[in-house]
Amino acid sequence: MTDRHPTSVLISGGGVAGPALAFWLRRYGFEPTIVERAPRPRSGGQRIELSEAGQHVLRRMGLLDRVRAAGGPQPQATMYVGATDRPVRVPAVGVGAADQSPRSDRLAVSRTRLGEILYEEVRDRIPYLFADSITAIRQRPAGVEVDLDSGETRHVDLVIGADGLYSQVRRLVFGEHDRFLHYLGADQAYFTMDNHLGWRNVSRFHAWPYRGAAITTFPGNTELEGLFLIRRAESAVSPDLSREEQWAQVDRVFACDEWLVPSLLRAMRSSEDFRLMPCVQVRMESWRDGRVALAGDAAHCPDPMSGQGATLALAGAYVLAGELKAARGDHDVAFAAYERRMREFVVGSQELGELDIAMAAPRAGRAGVWLREQSLRMLLPAVDLGLRLNLQPRWLTATAPIALPDY
């Protein structure tokens, strides 16, 4: 690093991408600081899956064993279609780093535990500004002036927005949220409950026309994750809806369905972490503007249905920090290289999210759902055999592995 290259980096967001980026920046000689709106590290959130690319980054950070101990293998998925009770087993599919086998198993872990492990790794080395947030950003030729909600103004070399789907940094620098949020034609209700079924490492989902329901074991098998997916032309989710009104929306759609739906609806009403939210992606032509760049969901949220959000956050943090190191702090060169290296992986991961929604809540009538069931019964055994032979069809993974260089 030389004096004319930037060193101080203000990172907005303390979830997954922010601490991972701070870890690598500090290792490479930069001076990162994290500003986080919450008063402490966030807890709660869905079960997340880490494909091989995400595990590869954690391995290089020396954290993979700790994350594995806190999680478990990706549950084996079984699908029920239409009115049938005959299951269709879904082959396990990995999305890997280029230098790893694409057949490698995914790792499931709670978002809370992954966030805690990352925070524990960096908290003694990286300054945190909790209960604070960025309110204004002014780019200057020699740096960036940042106003914080606390009233402080900071002068830094770079600003990175790793502050999630509704990123404040993205709104301040790139424009309002509706320019970049792409609705995928479905709303999802998520909640957790005690494992009253006694399941271990399984995921079962049932698809009907324009809707679907799923139950998946949480890592450790003490809890279950419930999911309802509802196809809509426009999202019915509104911040003005009360919890009772949200429950009523889900009840109306699934009230006549059987399988395990009645017990799911009861559990939904007693869950403390129920959330009804639209399935959306962040789609942007560029993740950079001058000395400001975006990372993780702020740049390219793939939607939770893809299972790729945490992997994209970890891989993006590794690549962004690595390119800044390779460019010796030249942000123009580094930000452009970061986008080039990540773009195909991001696009493919977002395609995977759309494919998962189509599988879980088909946009078809009863006849179309029946035909799809028959096709899947013939096709999936052949796909499973191909995977056992290390042959992974492009349409199933929706994304090619990403090359993660040694920086």
User: How far apart (Å, rounded) are the C-alpha atoms in residues 324 and 337?
Assistant: 9
Spell out the residues 6+ positions from residue 241 whose beta carbon is closer than 8 angstroms to its own.
249, 276
Q: What is the pLDDT of residue 78?
A: 72
Q: What is the pLDDT of residue 403?
A: 87
Place of tokens 């930000």: 335
Phi, psi of 374 (to 5 degrees): -65, -40
The Cα 178–Cα 189 span in angstroms is 22
Beta-bridge partner residues of 189: 228, 276
What pLDDT is attached to residue 88? 59
User: In DSSP terms, which residues pair with 187 in a beta bridge?
Assistant: 230, 278
201: helix, coil or strand?
A: coil
The pLDDT mean for the chain works out to 86
Assigned architecture for domain 8-72+105-179+282-358: 3-Layer(bba) Sandwich (3.50)
Residue 1's pLDDT is what?
44
Q: What is the pLDDT of residue 102?
A: 36
Task: Indicate the domain borders of the chain.
Answer: 8-72+105-179+282-358
CA angle 284, 285, 286 (to 5 degrees): 90
Q: What is the pLDDT of residue 100?
A: 38
Number of separate helices (H) and strands (E) present in the chain: 12, 19
**pLDDT, tens digit (0-9, with 9 covering 90-100), for 113-127:** 999 999 999 999 999
Q: How far is CA 23 from CA 26, 157, 315, in A?
A: 6, 18, 13
pLDDT given for residue 84 in this prediction: 54
The predicted-structure confidence for 71-82, as pLDDT tens digits, reads as follows 988 787 776 665
Which residues in 70-88 are b (16+ Cβ under 10 Å) and which e?
Answer: bbbebbebebbbbeeeeeb
User: Which is it for the CA torsion 255, 261, 266, 269, positive or negative?
Assistant: negative
The residues, any chain, with a CB within 8 Å of residue 343's CB and separated by 6 or more, are none
What is the predicted pLDDT for the residue at 28?
A: 96
Task: Name, in order, each residue with C-beta under 8 angstroms of 174's C-beta and a sequence gap of 6 or more.
Answer: 180, 284, 289, 294
Give me the residues of the chain with pLDDT under 50, please.
1-2, 92-104, 385-387, 389, 391, 394-396, 398
350 sits in which H/E element? helix 331-360
d(CA 73, CA 87) in angstroms, rounded, equals 21
